């Protein structure tokens, strides 16, 4: 590729990026203008410039880094546990009649239940430490993973399975070489749905139970009437969510590059 073509491609990429974020830029500019003119009370909506300065200060002194690490660790550990059990249960429910008979009613009843409502119960059972948060995240993320895995596994083309059987493929090889690869898009979609759920559950639990984390320092800001800290913490959780989502999209692209 010559220099002129490379410049044209770079210019096109820059234009596409600009088109994708222009509405966000407009909202942020309006936010700053409206707050600087005093059209909204400072407590309810501080100027964006003040929030950015506080965000920088809290990052520099390690506050956001430390508490962000706690939040992400709890969310991801719970998500991994949910993925392990959700994939196992989903595949079994799709391929085994006894497992389907047992798990299908549990999944259908458990999925619509708002997991956040279980926070007080988990406080009774496990206290305010990491264990309660991780287990609740695992339960909340289990349902979307299990449902998507079950449905994706059931939707595998029967012709693929019959063809593999005709070639003498064992049950273990059939699962590893045919069923799991064919249902991989649905499995990863379930994990993508569960990822923001893991962050939401962790964030809310930290607000209620404390023990550090971004939810904890946000509720501290509310209690001390420090709205700038509240919004700075919200920006931190938004950035973390965006980074994790993009990382999972990249993993999906790498794994499913053959599709």
112-116 CB contacts, 8 Å cutoff, 24+ apart: 115/139, 115/140, 115/201, 116/201, 116/204
The residue among 95 and 172 whose pLDDT is bigger is 95
Q: What is the pTM of this model?
A: 0.81
CB 137 within 8 A of CB 82: yes
- The reported pLDDT for the residue numbered 8 is 44
- DSSP letters for 100-161: HHHHHHHHHHHTTS-GGGGHHHHHHHHTTSHHHHHHHHHHHHHHHHHHHHHHHHHTS-HHHH
**pLDDT tens by residue, 36-69:** 888 888 888 898 899 999 999 999 998 899 999 9
Residue 40 is classified by DSSP as: S
Residue 177 is classified by DSSP as: I
CB 191 within 8 A of CB 145: yes
**What would the two tokens of residue 47 be?**
């100027």
**pLDDT tens by residue, 166-219:** 666 666 666 666 677 777 788 888 899 999 999 999 999 998 887 888 999 999
């Amino acid at each position: 590729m010559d220099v002129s073509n490379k410049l044209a491609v770079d210019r096109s990429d820059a234009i596409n990026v600009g088109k994708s974020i222009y509405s966000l830029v407009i909202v942020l500019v309006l936010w700053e203008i409206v707050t600087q003119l005093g059209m909204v009370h400072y407590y309810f909506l501080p100027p964006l410039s003040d929030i950015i300065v506080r965000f920088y200060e809290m990052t520099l002194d390690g506050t956001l880094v430390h508490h962000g690490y706690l939040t992400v660790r709890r969310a991801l550990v719970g998500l991994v546990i949910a993925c392990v059990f959700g994939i196992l249960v989903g595949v079994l429910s799709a391929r085994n009649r006894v497992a389907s008979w047992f798990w299908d009613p549990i999944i259908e009843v458990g999925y619509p239940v708002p997991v956040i409502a279980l926070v007080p119960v988990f406080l009774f059972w496990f206290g305010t430490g990491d264990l309660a948060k991780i287990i609740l995240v695992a339960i909340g993320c289990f349902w979307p993973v299990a449902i998507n895995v079950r449905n994706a596994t059931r939707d595998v083309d029967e012709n693929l399975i019959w063809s593999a059987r005709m070639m003498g493929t064992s049950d273990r090889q059939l699962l590893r070489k045919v069923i799991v690869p064919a249902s991989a898009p649905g499995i990863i979609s379930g994990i993508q749905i569960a990822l923001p759920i893991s962050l939401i559950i962790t964030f809310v639990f930290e607000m209620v139970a404390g023990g550090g984390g971004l939810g904890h320092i946000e509720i501290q800001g509310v209690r001390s009437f420090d709205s700038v800290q509240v919004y700075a913490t919200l920006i931190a959780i938004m950035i973390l969510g965006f980074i994790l989502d993009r990382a999972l999209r990249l993993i999906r692209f790498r794994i499913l590059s053959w599709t």
